[in-house]
């Protein structure tokens, strides 16, 4: 059979060339978008009297049958037909005859593929937002259960100041909620209907682009036909959004790996999300967290690959652009696997609050609070900093913590010390006195958790 696109070619491509440039092995996943787009296009062609109404009906019912048959697994695609667009069209023509040949009137595969990928990404962005929404719910739940779970806060991975586990996980709540917002923003620019751009210079047919836009649920239509077929910004943006999301997952995974080590012992990952070792019988490894961390690299890679592919392309369509799909599909698949695994892993982990607290007692994390206490008694901060520095050195020598020193010992460093110093260096106090908005105090965190609950019930994350 002569190929649909071989108007002026007399020699058939050899099978290896067909295999090389065919995209059906990966773009077949857009069959639904392709068919719905064609149905809308055919309906509009009929309404506009560009093709006969009866033929338009025939095309539409033919396409609906093909969609059903694909979903039942009854159709196998042909590599020789190159891509999903030509596969669907040739199956249609085989089934309904001459009318099928009218479907492509006023359309090019260039605007067709731009339409399909936009529709596909719109669906996936929404699905990913649902997965993020679930993760946010679990984070908020963990926070709610741990508003008084004291743990060390780190800088340079050294004990710095005490925080709570709630404060720590709510930092991630902020990151993942921005990831969700970023996807919504990207959705807006993806939600533009390119059909009508034709190959690059639009078409002489009197298309009703707005009708197609409305039927397919788009917000607006592209304003320039050359841009309509050349623009892949929205694919780059999707990849960027997914890269940042993976970065956040990866940072948290790194912490889970650390926290589940014997040295930290802050958490225990459920057996369902851990693995053993083939040689060391005692081992329980945080493989899922490591794998998510590892998969982050490939998502970044897809972003760089597409940006690099696009950077030298003259307007308008070039076949290079076919390379947009495998990368973004892989990034989507990766994110859609990682998110539920991660969410479930968090949801089922055990928090070891005692270990967090005893670790928070190490490293004089209340030293800033002790200095602040002296400042409140009238000492200039620089002086207080140096007095407490001296006390810390003394403690290290004696193998003690700040809270273990007697009042006499304190007084030997400054006559300003009274019994009140002990309350001010109590770790729980150190946390809860940080009442400023954005801080770790239980008082403030409780309000954040309540607000998060309201947000999770609203529209923002859906």
Whether 358 is catalytic: no
Put residue 423 in one of left, alpha, beta given phi > 0 → left and psi -120 to 50 → alpha. Answer: alpha
- Residue 397 token pair: 């020598």
Q: How many residues bind ligand ARG (CB under 6 A)?
A: 10
Sign of torsion over alpha carbons 430, 433, 437, 440: positive
Residue number, 199 or 257, with CB nearest to ligand ARG: 199
156 is catalytic: yes
Of the candidates 146, 139, 138, 213, the one whose C-alpha atom is nearest the C-alpha of residue 174 is: 139
Binding residues for ligand ARG restricted to 254-283, rule: CB under 6 A: none
How far apart are the C-alpha atoms of 409 and 444, rounded to whole Å? 35
Closest approach of Cβ 179 to ligand ARG, in Å?
28
**Residue in 393, 103, 108, 89 with CA at minimum distance from that of residue 226:** 108
By the rule CB under 6 A, 110 interacts with ligand ARG: yes
Binder among 44, 51, 63, 113 for ligand ARG (CB under 6 A):
113
Among residues 156, 278, 406, 415, the one annotated as catalytic is: 156
Stretch that binds ligand ARG, among 105-113, 166-174, 344-352, 448-456 (CB under 6 A): 105-113
Report the DSSP beta bridge partners of residue 155.
158
Facing residues of 193 across strands?
221
Closer to ligand ARG at the Cβ: 129 or 232?
Answer: 232
Residues 232-251 contacting ligand ARG, CB under 6 A: none
Q: Show the binding pattern over residues 15-54: x = contacts ligand ARG (CB under 6 A), - = does not.
A: --------x---x---------------------------
Closer CB to ligand ARG, 150 or 310, in the complex: 310
Rounded Cα–Cα distance for residues 455 and 440 (Å): 20
**What are the residues whose beta carbons fall under 8 Å from the beta carbon of 151, sequence distance 6 or more?**
162, 163, 164, 165, 168, 266, 356, 357, 359, 360
Whole-number minimum distance, CB 124 to ligand ARG, in Å? 17
Least distance in Å: CB of 317 to ligand ARG?
A: 6
CB 150 within 8 A of CB 162: yes
DSSP 201: T
Q: How far is CA 240 from the centre of its chain?
A: 9
Give 31 or 317: the residue with its C-beta nearer to ligand ARG. 317
- In whole angstroms, what separates CA 193 from the centre of its chain? 24
Q: How many other CB atoms sit within 10 Å of the CB of residue 21?
A: 12
321 touches ligand ARG (CB under 6 A): yes
Q: Which stretch binds ligand ARG (CB under 6 A): 126-134, 149-157, 162-170, 318-326?
A: 318-326
Selected binder of ligand ARG within 176, 259, 273, 317 (CB under 6 A): 317
Q: Is position 83 an interface residue for ligand ARG (rule: CB under 6 A)? A: yes
CA distance 193 to 41: 12
The CB-of-323 to ligand ARG minimum distance in angstroms stands at 8
- Token match 């595969």: residue? 109
Contact indicator for 75, 91 with CB cutoff of 8 Å = yes
Instruction: Using alpha carbons, list the distances in angstroms from residue 412 to 112, 169, 294, 401, 417.
Output: 82, 41, 53, 16, 9
Among 59-67, 157-165, 252-260, 315-323, which window interacts with ligand ARG (CB under 6 A)? 315-323
Nearest distance from residue 250's CB to ligand ARG, in Å? 30
Determine whether 301 is exposed, middle or buried from the number of CB atoms within 10 Å of its CB (0-12, 13-18, 19+).
middle
Does position 90 bind ligand ARG by CB under 6 A?
no
Residues contacting residue 447 through CB under 8 Å, at least 6 positions apart: none
Say if residues 370 and 380 touch (Cβ distance below 8 Å). no
CA–CA dist 359, 191 (Å, integer): 50
Q: At its nearest, how many Å lie between ligand ARG and the CB of residue 450?
A: 48
Among the listed ranges 108-116, 141-149, 290-298, 441-449, the one in contact with ligand ARG (CB under 6 A) is 108-116
Stretch of residues binding ligand ARG (CB under 6 A), selected from 40-48, 145-153, 319-327, 365-373 = 319-327
For ligand ARG, the binding residue among 72, 311, 319, 437 (CB under 6 A) is: 319
State which residue, 23 or 343, has the beta carbon closest to ligand ARG: 23
State the minimum distance, in angstroms, from the CB of residue 99 to ligand ARG.
23
d(Cα 90, Cα 94) in Å, to the nearest integer?
A: 6
* Among 5, 61, 277, 386, the one annotated catalytic: 277
Quote the least distance from Cβ 141 to ligand ARG, whole Å: 43
Residue of 102, 109, 124, 168 that binds ligand ARG (CB under 6 A): 109
Nearer to ligand ARG, 43 or 109 (CB): 109
Residue keyed to tokens 């892949």: 232
- Which stretch, 55-63, 255-263, 300-308, 316-324, contacts ligand ARG (CB under 6 A)? 316-324
Q: Using the rule CB under 6 A, is 203 a contact of ligand ARG?
A: no
State the Cα–Cα distance between residues 36 and 216, nearest whole angstrom: 8
Which positions are catalytic? Answer: 156, 277
**Contact set with ligand ARG (CB under 6 A):** 23, 27, 83, 109-110, 113, 317, 319, 321-322
């Amino acid at each position: 059979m002569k190929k649909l696109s071989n108007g002026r070619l007399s020699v058939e491509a050899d099978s290896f060339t067909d295999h090389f440039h065919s995209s059906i092995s990966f773009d077949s996943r857009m069959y639904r978008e392709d068919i719905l787009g064609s149905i809308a296009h055919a309906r509009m062609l009929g309404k506009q009297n560009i093709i006969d109404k009866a033929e338009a009906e025939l095309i539409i019912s033919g396409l609906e049958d093909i969609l059903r048959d694909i979903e039942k697994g009854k159709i196998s695609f042909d590599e020789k037909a190159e891509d999903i667009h030509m596969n669907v069209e040739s199956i249609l023509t085989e089934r309904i005859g001459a009318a099928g040949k009218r479907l492509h009137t006023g359309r090019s595969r260039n605007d067709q593929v731009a339409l399909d990928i936009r529709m596909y990404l719109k669906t996936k962005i929404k699905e990913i937002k649902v997965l993020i929404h679930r993760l946010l719910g679990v984070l908020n739940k963990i926070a709610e259960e741990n508003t008084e779970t004291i743990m060390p806060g780190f800088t340079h991975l050294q004990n710095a100041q005490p925080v709570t586990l709630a404060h720590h996980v709510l930092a991630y709540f902020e990151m993942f909620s921005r990831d969700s917002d970023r996807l919504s923003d990207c959705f807006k620019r993806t939600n533009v209907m390119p059909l009508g751009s034709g190959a690059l210079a639009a078409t002489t047919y009197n298309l009703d682009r707005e009708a197609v836009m409305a039927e397919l649920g788009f917000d607006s239509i592209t304003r320039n036909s050359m841009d309509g077929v050349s623009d892949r910004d929205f694919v780059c943006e999707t990849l960027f959004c997914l890269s940042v999301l993976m970065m956040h997952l990866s940072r948290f995974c790194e912490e889970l790996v650390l926290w589940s080590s014997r040295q930290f012992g802050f958490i225990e990952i459920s057996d369902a999300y851990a693995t053993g070792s083939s040689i060391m019988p005692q081992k329980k490894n945080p493989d899922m967290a490591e794998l998510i961390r590892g998969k982050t690299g490939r998502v970044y890679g897809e972003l760089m690959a597409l940006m690099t592919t696009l950077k030298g392309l003259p307007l308008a369509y070039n076949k290079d652009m076919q390379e947009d799909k495998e990368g973004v599909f892989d990034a989507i698949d990766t994110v859609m696997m990682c998110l539920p695994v991660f969410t479930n892993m968090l949801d089922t982990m055990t928090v070891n609050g005692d270990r967090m607290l005893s670790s928070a007692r190490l490293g004089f994390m209340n030293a800033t609070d002790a200095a602040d206490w002296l400042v409140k008694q009238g000492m200039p901060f620089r002086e207080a900093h140096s007095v407490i520095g001296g006390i810390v050195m003394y403690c290290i020598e004696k193998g003690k913590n700040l809270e273990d020193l007697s009042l006499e010992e304190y007084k030997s460093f400054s006559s300003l010390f009274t019994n009140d110093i002990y309350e001010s260096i109590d770790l729980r106090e150190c946390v809860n006195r940080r009442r400023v908005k954005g801080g770790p105090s239980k008082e403030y965190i409780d309000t954040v958790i309540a607000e998060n609950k309201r947000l999770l019930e609203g529209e923002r994350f859906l």
